A = this chain, B = another copy of it.
Amino acid sequence: MTDPRAAPIYLDNNSTTAPAPEVVEAMLPFYTEHFANPSSPHPGGERAADAVRAARGHVAQLLGGSPRDVVFTSGGSESINAAFGAARLAHPERPRYIVSAVEHSATKASAKRAGTCVEIAVDANGLLDREALFAAIDSGVALVSLLFAGNETGVLNDLAGIGDACRAAGTLFHVDAVQAPGKMPIDAPAIGCDLLTIAAHKFHGPKGVGASWVRPGVALDPLVVGGPQESERRAGTENVPGIVGMGRAAELAQAFAEDERGLARIRALRDRLERRLVEAIPGARVHGAGAKRVANTTNVLFPGLEASLLLALLGEFGVYASAGSACNAQRSSPSPVLIAMGISPEEAASSLRFSLSRYSTEDEIEAATGRIIEAVGTLHALND
């Protein structure tokens, strides 16, 4: 019997993560002692500017790039929007923006705002139709914007050669790497993209701060103008504690992503969770199981159950999960990502995402598995 007083088990890390204790510790002095404006010409301001500089270095290291190519923003959605702005600035005459069918809503909305949004299909595993993509890239395309790792399924895109194809057509290439830090090494220059987006709160950093990696020579059309901050690419007083927290989170994420054992441990926990659910629940299936996926994510079909009801009951049982992107969560329609993978609306509306973190423990996964199976049983009993 599930004890509702048990500590909740947080398996919604693709929505957001708990800031690491080291991150909070790093941020605190910038709320208390070192609170000055980095633009202020006094020792207080210099101390804050030094901290921003150090954080920029850590984020650059995480991305394999140079500090001068890192632009701090208010988060992933802003950075994604900024990538489309850069493409519109570079190619005002090009009508088309290519995205995959499984992109985040910020990408699709930005594409629709910028011009004609061309969606490239994915297969049943969520893998991009690369042939269709290469065929679509031409001199009428301002930007190609693709996920590094899918937020709903964890499926990894094969990005090889796409940068070259874009370059040949003069098209800009943006990679939404929001789900990547701490889950794999990232090398933005080697990916061959022109812009790459990350958000601190997805890798145990604070909410309200993100970063764009921008290839030298690519100009941003600032979303916010009116100050010299971020080398005139993003105006406004810097969110110093947030940036400091992002820098510390970047250090920790990079160290974890380079630690094969850590990732293997998470993968083993995730795999065990999947296996036990599929074994225990008739008809249960893992979406994207046939593709390479990040270690922490699983998206499971619970046939015949309404995901929203299962989520609510799991919430009472102390297991926090999600029915897809938090940015779609308040909408009642089933996940467009799963629909794009050819999954029926009924099955999409019966699927839940569980996303682990480097803080997930064996005991938690063990307990969560039991509670999920119990909740599914409870709902099936009600249905009967």
When the two chains form their complex, are residues B76 and A236 in contact, meaning their CB atoms are under 8 A apart? yes
A1-36 interface with B by 8 A CB criterion: 8, 10, 12, 15-19, 23-24, 27-28, 31-32, 35-36
Contact flag A36-B12 (CB < 8 Å), given A42-B321, A312-B41: yes
Residues of chain B contacted by A10 (CB below 8 angstroms): 36, 44
A197-245 interface with B by 8 A CB criterion: 199, 201, 206-209, 223-229, 235-242
A66 contacts chain B at the CB level, 8 A cutoff: no
Residues of chain B contacted by A238 (CB below 8 angstroms): 207-208
A311 contacts chain B at the CB level, 8 A cutoff: yes
Name A48's closest neighbour in chain B (CB-CB): B16
Contact flag A320-B42 (CB < 8 Å), given A77-B237, A78-B74, A236-B77: yes
A107 to chain B, nearest CB (A): 7
A344 contacts chain B at the CB level, 8 A cutoff: no
A156-192 interface with B by 8 A CB criterion: none
Name A15's closest neighbour in chain B (CB-CB): B37
Chain A 297-330: CB-based contact to B (< 8 A → 1; otherwise 0): 0000000000010011011000011110011111
Contact flag A329-B207 (CB < 8 Å), given A201-B237, A225-B81: no
A42's partner among B17, B201, B235, B314 (CB-CB below 8 A) is B314
A331 contacts chain B at the CB level, 8 A cutoff: yes
Contact flag A110-B241 (CB < 8 Å), given A31-B27, A44-B10, A44-B320: no
When the two chains form their complex, are residues B74 and A41 in contact, meaning their CB atoms are under 8 A apart? no
Residues of chain B contacted by A225 (CB below 8 angstroms): 77, 81, 106, 109-110, 113
Please give the count of copies of this chain that the complex contains. Answer: 2
When the two chains form their complex, are residues A327 and B235 in contact, meaning their CB atoms are under 8 A apart? yes
When the two chains form their complex, are residues A226 and B77 in contact, meaning their CB atoms are under 8 A apart? yes
A88 contacts chain B at the CB level, 8 A cutoff: no
A58 contacts chain B at the CB level, 8 A cutoff: no
Interface residues on A, range: 35 or more
Chain A residues in the interface with B (C-beta under 8 A): 8, 10, 12, 15-19, 23-24, 27-28, 31-32, 35-37, 39-45, 74-78, 80-81, 104-110, 113, 199, 201, 206-209, 223-229, 235-242, 308, 311-312, 314-315, 320-323, 326-331
Most chain B Cβ neighbours within 10 Å, of A31, A109, A308, A330: A31
Name A49's closest neighbour in chain B (CB-CB): B330
Contact flag A224-B78 (CB < 8 Å), given A36-B320, A208-B239, A239-B207: yes
Complex Cα–Cα for A103 and B80 (A): 30
Identify 14 residue pairs between A and B in the complex whose beta-carbon atoms are under 8 Å apart, listed by A's number: A12-B36, A15-B237, A16-B37, A39-B329, A40-B326, A41-B308, A42-B314, A74-B74, A74-B208, A78-B224, A104-B226, A201-B237, A208-B238, A226-B327
Name A21's closest neighbour in chain B (CB-CB): B32
